[in-house]
Structure 1
């Protein structure tokens, strides 16, 4: 670890309405292409108001991507055209590879206090796998390994490898690493992130300093970072940090703890044609996908 990553850009998540009327926060999406390649979108659907989420995401198609849903509190009920059904909750993950085409619904509902908390990440598929058979993986919280470091740092490994420990999701084309990292106050932790991978962190609680960044941050009207000596270098909840290349990054806390999602993957460097829930490589492939959805041939037979 002799090439530390630096902060490339910082973003504040923004409110958007999706599905049948779900109010959520978008950390990044279409307008940031191709900054996060191979990742396409990250949504934060934490809420204590059922009116903001109960309408959910009724039946809709996907092709050419993977959707990764991580639920910390409350529940998300899933059903799809492959016959899969299940409920994600309490630290569980749904990793769905849409491939050649899947139609599904995702319906969130709250805990006994009416609260729901989760995140959905979209990862692109390479051109060679966009028409592969769809797959669905339901990962229980108990299947996710948790590392407890001597300085109080806790790391949940959803996908990828940290040290000698691997997460439960394997066989993904972009070789992603998805970590849920918590730091107590007053510690510094350096995390290995192999060079050549796109890497970002999304803060889901607390405050911290990244990459020994000493120059404070402000945000412009579009929510993108700029340097401003009148603000603090501490970054907080609902902030996303995109890193430059390197093979490690450092997170430091002061008086507050911090919890982040640290995600990295190998860039595809391929053209992106994206409309709604479908992401292909050309406009013609998009046109064909929507035509198949209209005429009932979108979902392919397996085997």
Structure 2
């Protein structure tokens, strides 16, 4: 596979003192339509016990996927859901959402999950909010004969050897967003043809991947790296002896100027100022 750029996730803190690893690019938008990937991974509840108390968003979509542990989600729309291991959740904030995400401390098993921010095109940023989750449903998946399992979280996916198509349960993501979780056994291999997408990003959360760099030499990607792939080239994922777990983030570029301020992502500073004013005046509503 052709890797055009690579980025390392950095330690960060958000919410009420939650420790995360973050990779983001709001300025150059090289992940377009994706803006940010936050990974929360810890067996120490002090790293996440504070959770994410009520806070607003406008102009983005948040996509949450949990591998271990869980959160309880609440929002001003009346949605109250426990999002646990294997569950995914999508919230298209549009003109405004207030939500909270508080950890479920049930089995002292720790927490491992992701929140991904997807940009919204200007024409949709002020439409009403939308919400979906997969709680209580099995995530559709396919496997191949070379040690790969692909779980379709959103969008349609298949392996290049045509093992059949699988559709994610979450639909309607901005910019034709498609997200999958791929696990590879030791030395496992998966080949995908994703030329229908303008953007393909890969976030490696476990193990190692072997690939060729721009000079044709063999390179190794490790957990905590985001790779931008050439979607028009064949994508061959090969794990090292450690195996690998990764997220594939595909979609169509929005290619619009944005202004980012905290939880708001709009197209102009005037729109950011309006978002702040609307929130301060209580126009986003409140969680009952």
Is the structural similarity TM-score above 0.5?
A: yes
Residues 40-63 of structure 1 show CA distances to partners (whole Å, capped at 9, x for unaligned) of 110001111111111111111001
2:190 corresponding residue in structure 1: 189
The change in CA–CA distance for 1:200 and 1:210 in structure 2 (over 3 A counts) is farther
Q: Distance in 1 between matches of 2:96 and 2:120?
A: 12
2:161 corresponding residue in structure 1: none
Establish whether residue 113 from structure 1 lines up as the match of residue 115 from structure 2: no
SS at structure 2 position matched to 1:202: strand
Q: Distance in 1 between matches of 2:282 and 2:227?
A: 41
1:220 corresponding residue in structure 2: none
1:10 corresponding residue in structure 2: 6
Q: Distance in 1 between matches of 2:47 and 2:26?
A: 22
Residue correspondence of structure 1 range 89-100 to structure 2 within 5 A: 89-100=84-95
The change in CA–CA distance for 1:15 and 1:157 in structure 2 (over 3 A counts) is same
1:22 to 18, 23, 44: 18
1:146 corresponding residue in structure 2: 141
Q: Distance in 1 between matches of 2:175 and 2:89?
A: 17
Q: Distance in 2 between matches of 1:168 and 1:175?
A: 14
Instruction: Give the CA deviation at 1:150.
Output: 1.8
Q: Distance in 2 between matches of 1:44 and 1:276?
A: 18
2:241 corresponding residue in structure 1: 255
1:290 corresponding residue in structure 2: 276
Alpha-carbon RMSD = 1.9
Instruction: Give the CA deviation at 1:111.
Output: 5.0
Residues 155-208 of structure 1 show CA distances to partners (whole Å, capped at 9, x for unaligned) of 000011113221111122311111111111223321111255111111111111
Q: Distance in 1 between matches of 2:157 and 2:196?
A: 15
2:169 corresponding residue in structure 1: 168
Residues 33-85 of structure 1 show CA distances to partners (whole Å, capped at 9, x for unaligned) of 31111111100011111111111111110011100000111111110010110
Contact 1:110 1:116 in 2 (8 A): no
Instruction: Give the CA deviation at 1:109.
Output: 3.5
Following superposition, which runs of at least 4 residues in structure 1 exceed 4 angstroms of deviation? 211-214
2:208 corresponding residue in structure 1: 207
TM-score, normalised relative to structure 1: 0.87
Q: For structure 2, which runs of at least 5 residues remain unmatched after alignment?
A: 159-164
SS at structure 2 position matched to 1:174: helix
Contact 1:212 1:251 in 2 (8 A): no
More displaced stretch, 193-202 vs 204-213: 204-213
Give the length in aligned residue pairs. Answer: 279
Contact 2:119 2:174 in 1 (8 A): no
Q: For structure 1, which runs of at least 5 residues remain unmatched after alignment?
A: 217-232
1:235 corresponding residue in structure 2: 221
The change in CA–CA distance for 1:110 and 1:243 in structure 2 (over 3 A counts) is farther
Instruction: Give the CA deviation at 1:212.
Output: 7.3
Q: Distance in 1 between matches of 2:141 and 2:270?
A: 44
SS at structure 2 position matched to 1:269: coil
The change in CA–CA distance for 1:236 and 1:267 in structure 2 (over 3 A counts) is same
Q: Distance in 2 between matches of 1:12 and 1:92?
A: 26
TM-score, normalised relative to structure 2: 0.91
Q: Distance in 2 between matches of 1:160 and 1:59?
A: 29
1:277 to 253, 256, 263: 263
SS at structure 2 position matched to 1:257: strand
Instruction: Give the CA deviation at 1:247.
Output: 4.4
2:67 corresponding residue in structure 1: 72
